[in-house]
Structures are given as C-alpha cells and as structure tokens.
Amino acid sequence: MENLAQLLHEHMEAHHRGQRRAIPREELRRNFVCPLAGEMDDREFRKLYGQLPVAGCARGLFIPATKQELKEFYEYLLKKGMSKEAAMKRVEIILKIYPKLDWRVGDERQGVLFG
C-alpha cells in the first residue's frame, strides 16, 4: 500500500492541485485507485489518502495550492464536526510536505530580534 500512496500523491500533485481542480472522492477511488489496487472500500480509501497531503471540500479531494485553501480545508473539517485537534493533525500532514501553506505564518520574514 506504500507504493499506492506514493502513486496517488503523484497523481494528485499532477492533476488535482488547487481547489478548483478537486476530484470527487468516489471518482478518484473508482478510476485511479481500484484499477491499481483492486477493489477498495471507502473506509480503506479514506485511510489511504488520510496519510497523504490531500485536502477535501464539498467538490472532492485536491492538493492545496494556497494558504487560503489550506485554511478553508481546516474550517471545512471543523464544520463537519471534527475536533480542532484532529483537524489540525490533518493540516499538519499537509504542512510536512508543503510548509509554505501555513496560513498562521505571515508572508513577510521576521526581522532580527536582537542586535
């Protein structure tokens, strides 16, 4: 399954970067994952992409392209009833690969504090 996760991440990065390019979850499972791995139920599929830097929205799954998209994903998880801690764990998976998407950090660099 490790190789499948890598293939899925590469596919998402190449074809579904940015919220406007989101793909419905079921379409991705049926047309990309199942042909590679055989039949996979929704629970297994969620476990697979849950370890990847993949965000979701009402339209489907995508790789966030902007800080705003990642922040909206966090808010989307909260609206779906996820705890702040659990939602932040999902965000942190994305930030490990794409640290520049952290909306909590300003765009400007902090100056020298002492000196």
pLDDT band with cut points at 50, 70 and 90 for residue 2: low
Inside any domain, residue 113: no
Inside any domain, residue 111: no
Percent with pLDDT over 90 in the chain? 87
> What average pLDDT does this structure show over 29-41?
93
Residues paired with 55 in a beta bridge: 62
Task: Identify the H or E element spanning 30.
Answer: none
Inside any domain, residue 45: yes
Inside any domain, residue 108: no
- For position 36, what pLDDT does the model report? 92
Inside any domain, residue 87: yes
Inside any domain, residue 106: no
The reported pTM is 0.87
Residue 115 pLDDT greater than 60, yes or no: no
Residue 113 pLDDT greater than 60, yes or no: no
Inside any domain, residue 12: yes
pLDDT band with cut points at 50, 70 and 90 for residue 106: confident
Q: How many domains does the chain have?
A: 1
Burial class (CB in 10 A: 0-12, 13-18, 19+), 80: exposed
Inside any domain, residue 61: yes
Structural domain harbouring 30: 2-101
Better-predicted residue by pLDDT, 7 or 115: 7
How many C-beta neighbours within 10 Å does residue 10 have? Answer: 10
101 neighbors 94 (Cβ within 8 angstroms): yes
> What average pLDDT does this structure show over 17-26?
97
